[in-house]
Amino acid sequence: MTTSAETAVHNGKLFIHTVGCQMNELDSELVVAALRKHGYELTADVADADTVLFNTCSVREHAEHKIYSALGRLKYSKRKRPDQVIGVMGCMAQKDQKLIFQKAPHVDLVVGTGQLSEIPLLIDNARENRERQMAVSLARRDATRQKVADSFESYDPLRDPEMRHSAFQAYVRIMIGCDKFCTYCVVPMTRGPEQSRSPRHIVQEVQQLAAEGVKEVTLLGQTVNSYRHTEDGREYRLSDLIASFHDTPGLERIKFVTNYPRDMTDDLLQAVRDLPKVAHYLHVPAQSGCDEMLKRMKRGYTVEHYREMMHRIHETVPDCSVSSDFIVGFCGETDAAHEKSMELIREFRFKNSFIFKYSARTGTKADAIMLDDVPEETKRRRNNEMLDLQNEISEEDNAARIGREYDILVEGPSKSAVKAGDDDSIPQTQLSGRTRCDRIVVFDGNRRLTGSTTRVRIDDCTATTLIGTIVTRELQHTADGGLPILG
Ligand code: SAH
Ligand code: SF4
Ligand code: F3S
């Protein structure tokens, strides 16, 4: 039998560029794994590839601009290489659809977040027939919730260990979509209705990953703590789901992102407290510290609700670190409203905050009915002020950790080691890992410690990083059973 992969003429080189959130990183990982099975190999050089994919994000205009510019740069190279297939997948594909072909006529393929399993076939079709291919889900306003939900398929094929960015860390999707409809946000349109995956499938996936050597899983959902699924007559909340795979042998750490403040229930906090593998870390975006803004954003809570949630977190899990997201310059945000967000950061001293300038998005309620009236200059100033404040707090809180010791799950050579051209034939390097509270720690050690837990004393810090020294030298055996090495 001849497969279409064999008949389609391609040099087997695939270039993929991914932007956006962890959900996109996971999607790219899975799509590349599927394409490998069809004979593709990854290349880091776009000029070398005859299949080029962009996995895109629409959450802010800037992210879209960058993709359109990257597409623009390929226009001329494609004239010289008409056999090249260029595809746009992910959130921008679902949002812009045919507009992508209009803006970038040399694109062959537009594939939404709900059709990723079709990519290998669509690439073959595009190459064989030289015809544009488009596969997207239904728009939310165009059909019933159920029909729209059915048109978004959660893409979770069998995992390919070779494709993970780390041999011992993996993302696991537990939900797709979002039904919160915050007025500024495009995600309910690009990812479709909120749907929780079956606990049975998730548990199987975690067990498979752990059997392949994965020690840390990060569960993904737009509002991950809204997870709910009824199976075999039993309702599973996120706390039940975590409990049902927590004892998987080999698994050491469990994280979950991103949390929605209103769904931070006591059962979940108790699970974080009682289940030893769960990280003491919660990412719960506040978005604003001003009730009027929160109402305009339709976040569904007030500052007082958020405060009450923070108190419950600290009461139940006293050493839990919390990080947040903020939007500055949302429609109608005054200096006084901005000051309230600054006050919230001072009050809760987040581990870190992701701060974004409001970007009006077509298709959202804010774009339809509110005025994007904060000048860009003001947005930039507020963004910088907030960053400065958060950095100051992060640095102070990191400095308070100097002299303490932590068990660190080692992730591998640090970013600076990699940047400086880390040479993997030399065992000693600067390593990076995280505390149970998700704080990043760098220290010198043997790269073979990657994936193990090592005790580190903190000597110094910056706003984003703790800097330390290994205190217990773990005795390890080399892979070939040879001499023990010292970390
Ligand atoms: N599901 C997550 C967030 C997804 S988007 C949650 O609800 O927390 C990630 C972050 O991007 C959001 O938390 C928000 O701070 C920011 N964001 C979303 N839409 C935006 C917009 N239109 N302009 C600027 N920032 C935005
Ligand atoms: Fe967007 Fe709000 Fe849903 Fe988060 S909860 S994805 S910010 S609509
Ligand atoms: Fe962006 Fe889509 Fe994620 S819009 S933030 S890639 S869900």
Q: Is 166 helix (H, G, I), strand (E, B) or coil?
A: strand
> Would the pLDDT of 473 be above 70?
no
pLDDT tens digits along 28-61: 999 999 999 999 999 999 989 999 999 999 999 9
Pocket of ligand 1 (CB under 6 A): 59-60, 184-185, 187, 222-223, 258, 260, 285, 287, 325, 327, 356, 358-359, 361
State how far the Cα of 484 lies from the Cα of 487, in Å rounded to an integer. Answer: 10
Name the band, by pLDDT with cuts 50, 70 and 90, for residue 479: very low
Evaluate the omega torsion of the peptide bond into residue 144 and state whether it is cis, within 30 degrees of 0: no
Query: From CA 146, how far away is CA 32, in angstroms rounded?
Result: 30
| Nearest-atom index, ligand 1, CA of 361 | 22
What are φ and ψ of residue 291, in 5° steps? -60, -40
pLDDT of amino acid 166: 83
CB atoms within 10 A of CB 448: 17
Ligand nearest to the CA of 67: 3
- Cα 188 to Cα 42: distance, rounded to the nearest angstrom: 31
**Residue of the nearest CA to atom 18 in ligand 1?**
185
187 exposure class (CB count in 10 Å sphere: 0-12, 13-18, 19+): buried
Three-state DSSP state, 385: helix
Lowest-pLDDT choice from 40-44, 161-165, 399-403, 412-416 = 161-165
Q: pLDDT digit string (tens) for 107-123? A: 999 999 999 999 999 99
Q: pLDDT above 70 covers what percent of the chain?
A: 94
Ligand 3 atom, smallest distance to 113 CA: 2
**192 band by pLDDT with thresholds 50, 70 and 90:** very high
178 is in an annotated binding site: yes
What is the atom index within ligand 3 of the atom nearest the CA of 191?
A: 7
Q: Kindly list the distances between the CA atom of residue 274 and the CA atoms of 32, 100, 210, 266, 356, in Å, as whole numbers in the listed order.
A: 37, 49, 21, 12, 34
Distance from the alpha carbon of residue 333 to the mean position of ligand 2, in angstroms: 19
Strands (E), 24-122: 41-42, 51-56, 85-90, 109-111
- Architecture of the CATH domain 283-400: 2-Layer Sandwich (3.30)
* Domain ranges within the chain, ordered by starting residue: 13-148, 166-279, 283-400, 405-470
What's the CATH class of domain 13-148? alpha beta
What are the strands of the beta sheet with 133-135, ordered from one edge? Answer: 41-42, 13-18, 51-56, 85-90, 109-111, 133-135
- Give residues (CB < 6 A) around ligand 3: 20-21, 23-24, 57-59, 91, 186-187, 190-191
Contacts of 239 (CB under 8 A, 6+ apart): 265, 267, 268, 270, 271
Instruction: Using the mean position of ligand 1's atoms as its centre, give its distance from the Cα of residue 185 in Å.
Output: 6
What fold, for 166-279? Answer: Transcription Regulator spoIIAA (3.30.750)
Ligand 2 atom 5: the closest Cα is on which residue? Answer: 180
Spatial CB neighbours of 418, under 8 Å, sequence gap ≥ 6: none
Residue-wise pLDDT tens digits, 291-332: 999 999 999 999 999 999 999 999 999 999 999 999 999 999
Q: Is the CB of residue 182 below 6 angstroms from any atom belonging to ligand 2?
A: yes
Q: Ligand 2: which of 180, 264, 283, 299 to mutate, most ligand atoms within 8 Å of CB?
A: 180
Q: CA-to-CA distance for 140 and 64, rounded, in angstroms?
A: 21
Does the pLDDT value for residue 484 go beyond 80? Answer: no
Query: CA–CA separation, 152 vs 374, rounded Å?
Result: 35
For residue 474, pLDDT over 70 is answered with no
Q: Which ligand is nearest to the CA of 176?
A: 3
Nearest CA to ligand 3 atom 3: 21
Rounded to the nearest angstrom, the distance between the alpha carbon of 289 and the centre of ligand 3 is 24
Structure confidence by residue, pLDDT tens digits, 67-118: 999 999 999 888 888 889 999 999 999 999 999 999 999 999 999 999 999 9
Overall average pLDDT of the 347-364 stretch: 98
For residue 138, the tally of other CB atoms under 10 A from its CB is 17
Diameter of the chain by CA atoms? 69
Q: Is 91 flagged in the annotation as binding?
A: yes
The pLDDT of residue 154 is: 87
Distance 62 CA to ligand 1 centre (A): 13
- Coil, strand, or helix at residue 172? strand
- Distance, CA 285 to ligand 2 centroid (Å)? 10
**In a mutational test of the pocket of ligand 3, which residue from 18, 23, 258 has the highest number of ligand atoms less than 8 Å from its CB?**
23
Residues 161 and 11 sit within 8 Å (Cβ to Cβ): no
Please check whether residue 358 is in contact with residue 379, taking contact to mean a CB–CB distance below 8 angstroms: yes
The answer, yes or no, to whether residue 335 has pLDDT greater than 80, is: yes
Hey, CA dihedral for 131, 137, 143, 144, is it positive or negative? positive
Stronger pLDDT, 484 or 446, i.e. the higher one: 446
DSSP state string for 400-416: TTTT-EEEEEEEEE-HH
pLDDT computed for residue 9 by the predictor? 61
Contact 40, 51 (CB under 8 A): yes
**Do 13-148 and 166-279 agree at the fold level?**
no
To the nearest whole number, what is the mean pLDDT of the chain? 93
Tell me which of 32 and 167 has the higher pLDDT: 32
Atom of ligand 3 nearest to the CA of 92: 4
Q: Give the number of other Cβ atoms within 10 Å of residue 423's Cβ.
A: 9
